[in-house]
Chains A and B, each alone.
Chain A
């Protein structure tokens, strides 16, 4: 029991600090919530320290099979915390500028991070479900936080209703799996399947519902309906949050359920995921072309990216999973940067959410036009940027596992996708700006966004360093 408690010190730290932030915010009278913000960032840093100090370098299962700490969970949790620190930084700038600042934003954000960490380390279907609910509940409230906006309220209701439906599906799948294997613990499920007493049909029936739940939470087609509305309707700071760290947790959930739990059924889930992947890539890339709102366009681009993420899982090998992990981490970095750009260009009451707002950016500010160019090229998958390597690793593993047709389809759709990313670059470099107003953002904002953009270029120049880290997660 004592080791069990030591293993979860990062989670305990975060929970305690989240409660502390709640109290600090209740007693502080600062309208800018400065103390709340700094304590929030401090709690994420402390969690990060606890994570690397208390995590063993072997995998350990605690709490009666409910919790696991292994290389993958430690790495993903580290990335989740680090990404959230930057997300909160952008969010704070945005909320301050738009007078939406509320202390609860940070408290709920911290609880969302706790939910993600629980999902990443869950080794029991019940822990997975509870972690997911903790994350989703916080996100629903964060989307609804802008009470005056009808768009935000509508987005929150849509997200909540469809999210509840997906949770119901997931629970139904869990109950079926429990019904036939007699356990909710992932290793016991694998053992029960391997023992061969359970008929495959019942397992696949339960698994289909689990996959529906995963696909919904990640936003894969045909369960993508909520993504565009939520991305567009939510305040940009929340969209930024939803599109970054929770995707990592969603990936972890998929790996836990499909790889750690249901790996004996790999042939079945490969087939289902292939359909989801092709649909996501098609719908995401084609419908994105018709969008004039950049947040909506990025929503469709997310759907397409989730399709590529699935490709690595379909490969079904350790290096394929590592490729997927590389993909989702680099996606989170890119999406964070792009939404950061939207925040940078926006001003009070005038959000830069139309594609036309990017017109002639190179004349208005050539440096940030260049950063946006890096982000867009990376999203499109142009070498040497990070996005190229993430597609490269995933497709390489896919071909190595013999899914050549699927890889060809993926490349085809990614070529279609290049169009709408290049359109933004064309708007920035070849069109005349509508306004010449200077970008008014703080020095820190400019600095962090610059680092974010250059990171994409730098990791793109040395992709193997990140890939090596991802590979260690699945080598055990």
Chain B
């Protein structure tokens, strides 16, 4: 039973991931990406990693992808320029992809990974996944956890410093300046002779 479910979600994952790359419409591509996240979350659930599965759905599907869709919809993406190099690089890309698939197939598909040398880490369904993960993160991986915190801080600093610029290229308005503007700043009264009617 588990195997059947695994194959269904595995196939769905592969299919949607392929569609993300192949499909023309960026909105559809983003939606397929959502589907691929869902399928991988389902695969994780099968492995009893419920915390990771939920986090994937909440963080990626719930937050990141919605933002992503917003960005795609707000930008005026020219499909023609996106497709431009496709035909030219396609043959080379396909050769490299095939080589990679063969190499991966030789390694991952071999008996070695199917053998008993590497059994799935056994987590019983009764143990709380979140608690185990929390214990590992705050004890064994404390150092790495702190570094991840620093990385997030850098991300905030970088995002703010890049988007909040006082330069000319942003088209933000300054209410204060608008209110303080006087008639003389905007209006120029030009003295000129009145035109005479001809004829």
Max chain A Cβ within 10 angstroms of own Cβ: one of B118, B155, B157, B165 = B157
| B125 CB-CB contact with A under 8 Å | no
Known: A102-B161, A131-B147, A141-B161. A108 touches B154 (CB 8 A): yes
| B133 CB-CB contact with A under 8 Å | no
| B58 CB-CB contact with A under 8 Å | no
Residue of B112, B142, B158, B168 touching A63 (CB-CB under 8 A): B142
Question: When the two chains form their complex, are residues A67 and B157 in contact, meaning their CB atoms are under 8 A apart?
Answer: no
| A197 CB-CB contact with B under 8 Å | yes
Cα distance A64–B146 when bound, in Å? Answer: 14
| A199 CB-CB contact with B under 8 Å | yes
> Can you list, as one digit per residue, whether each of B152-168 has a CB less than 8 Å from chain A (1) or not (0)?
01110110011001011
- A149 CB to closest chain B CB, in angstroms? 10
- B47 CB to closest chain A CB, in angstroms? 14
Residues of B34-92 whose CB lies within 8 A of A: none
Residues of B164-196 whose CB lies within 8 A of A: 165, 167-169
| B98 CB-CB contact with A under 8 Å | no
Question: When the two chains form their complex, are residues B161 and A104 in contact, meaning their CB atoms are under 8 A apart?
Answer: yes
Known: A148-B168, A179-B118, A199-B112. A111 touches B140 (CB 8 A): no
Question: When the two chains form their complex, are residues A64 and B169 in contact, meaning their CB atoms are under 8 A apart?
Answer: no
Question: When the two chains form their complex, are residues A148 and B169 in contact, meaning their CB atoms are under 8 A apart?
Answer: yes
Q: Which residue of B lies closest to A140 (CB)?
A: B158
Q: List, in ascending order, chain B residues with CB within 8 A of A176's CB.
A: 107
Interface residue SS majority, chain B: helix
Question: When the two chains form their complex, are residues B158 and A137 in contact, meaning their CB atoms are under 8 A apart?
Answer: yes
> Can you list, as one digit per residue, whether each of B87-113 has a CB less than 8 Å from chain A (1) or not (0)?
000000000000000010011000011
Interface residues on B, range: 20 to 34
Known: A22-B157, A138-B158, A148-B168. A67 touches B143 (CB 8 A): yes
Residue of B140, B154, B165 touching A134 (CB-CB under 8 A): B154
Max chain A Cβ within 10 angstroms of own Cβ: one of B117, B142, B162, B168 = B162
Max chain A Cβ within 10 angstroms of own Cβ: one of B142, B148, B158 = B158
| B21 CB-CB contact with A under 8 Å | no
Residues of A77-130 whose CB lies within 8 A of B: 102, 104, 107-108, 111, 114, 118, 124, 126-127, 130
Cα distance A113–B153 when bound, in Å? Answer: 14
Q: List, in ascending order, chain B residues with CB within 8 A of A15's CB.
A: 150
Cα distance A401–B169 when bound, in Å? Answer: 57
Cα distance A380–B167 when bound, in Å? Answer: 42
> Can you list, as one digit per residue, whether each of A147-182 has a CB less than 8 Å from chain B (1) or not (0)?
110000000000000000000000000001001101
- A259 CB to closest chain B CB, in angstroms? 22
Residue of A62, A126, A138 touching B144 (CB-CB under 8 A): A126
> Can you list, as one digit per residue, whether each of B10-51 has a CB less than 8 Å from chain A (1) or not (0)?
000000000000000000000000000000000000000000
- A323 CB to closest chain B CB, in angstroms? 31
> Can you list, as one digit per residue, whether each of A222-248 has a CB less than 8 Å from chain B (1) or not (0)?
000000000000000000000000000
Q: Which residue of A lies closest to B159 (CB)?
A: A141
- A315 CB to closest chain B CB, in angstroms? 29
| A54 CB-CB contact with B under 8 Å | no
Q: Which residue of B lies closest to A114 (CB)?
A: B150
Cα distance A107–B144 when bound, in Å? Answer: 21
Question: When the two chains form their complex, are residues B143 and A147 in contact, meaning their CB atoms are under 8 A apart?
Answer: no
Q: Count CB-based A-B contacts (< 8 Å).
A: 82
Q: Which residue of B lies closest to A112 (CB)?
A: B154
Known: A64-B140, A147-B165. A118 touches B147 (CB 8 A): yes
| A419 CB-CB contact with B under 8 Å | no
Q: List, in ascending order, chain A residues with CB within 8 A of B140's CB.
A: 64
Q: List, in ascending order, chain B residues with CB within 8 A of A107's CB.
A: 157
- A16 CB to closest chain B CB, in angstroms? 11
Known: A141-B158, A145-B161, A147-B162. A130 touches B168 (CB 8 A): no
Q: List, in ascending order, chain A residues with CB within 8 A of B151's CB.
A: 130, 133-134, 137
Known: A147-B165, A147-B167. A138 touches B154 (CB 8 A): yes
Q: Which residue of A lies closest to B139 (CB)?
A: A64
Cα distance A202–B168 when bound, in Å? Answer: 54
| A375 CB-CB contact with B under 8 Å | no
Question: When the two chains form their complex, are residues A202 and B154 in contact, meaning their CB atoms are under 8 A apart?
Answer: no
Residue of B107, B142, B158 touching A205 (CB-CB under 8 A): B107
| A201 CB-CB contact with B under 8 Å | yes
Cα distance A268–B196 when bound, in Å? Answer: 94
| B7 CB-CB contact with A under 8 Å | no
Q: List, in ascending order, chain A residues with CB within 8 A of B167's CB.
A: 147-148
Residue of A62, A67, A111, A144 touching B150 (CB-CB under 8 A): A111
Q: Which residue of B lies closest to A137 (CB)?
A: B154
Question: When the two chains form their complex, are residues B161 and A127 in contact, meaning their CB atoms are under 8 A apart?
Answer: no
Question: When the two chains form their complex, are residues A201 and B150 in contact, meaning their CB atoms are under 8 A apart?
Answer: no
Given A64-B140, A130-B148, A202-B107, 13 further pairs, Cβ under 8 A: A19-B153, A63-B143, A108-B158, A111-B157, A118-B147, A127-B147, A130-B151, A133-B151, A134-B150, A134-B154, A141-B162, A145-B162, A147-B167
A: which residues have CB within 8 A of B?
A: 8, 15, 19, 22, 62-64, 66-67, 102, 104, 107-108, 111, 114, 118, 124, 126-127, 130-131, 133-134, 137-138, 140-141, 144-145, 147-148, 176, 179-180, 182, 197, 199, 201-202, 205
Nearest first, the 8 A-B pairs at minimum CB distance are A141-B158, A104-B161, A63-B143, A130-B147, A66-B143, A205-B107, A64-B140, A111-B154
Q: List 24 A-B contacts (CB under 8 A).
A: A15-B150, A22-B157, A63-B143, A64-B139, A64-B142, A66-B144, A67-B143, A104-B158, A107-B157, A108-B157, A108-B158, A111-B153, A130-B147, A134-B154, A141-B161, A144-B162, A145-B161, A176-B107, A179-B118, A180-B118, A182-B118, A199-B112, A202-B112, A205-B107
